[in-house]
Amino acid sequence: MKTLILAASFALALSASAFAGQCQDDIEKIDAALASADLDADSRAQLEDMRNQAVQLCGAGNEAEGLDVTAEAKAMLNIQ
Tell me: the pLDDT tens digits for 30-63? Answer: 999 999 999 999 999 999 999 999 999 999 999 9
CA dist 15 → 2, 8, 12, 43, 54 (Å): 20, 11, 5, 33, 18
Instruction: Answer yes or no: is pLDDT of 27 > 80.
Output: yes
Instruction: Answer yes or no: is pLDDT of 75 > 60.
Output: yes
Give the mean pLDDT of the chain: 83
17-34 per-residue burial string, b: 16 or more CB within 10 A, e: under 16: eebeeebeebbebbeebe
The CA R_g of the chain, rounded to the nearest whole Å, is: 16
In a domain, 4, yes or no: no
Residue 3: pLDDT band with limits 50, 70, 90: low
In a domain, 30, yes or no: yes
Range of the domain at 73: 17-77
Domain total in the chain? 1
In a domain, 42, yes or no: yes
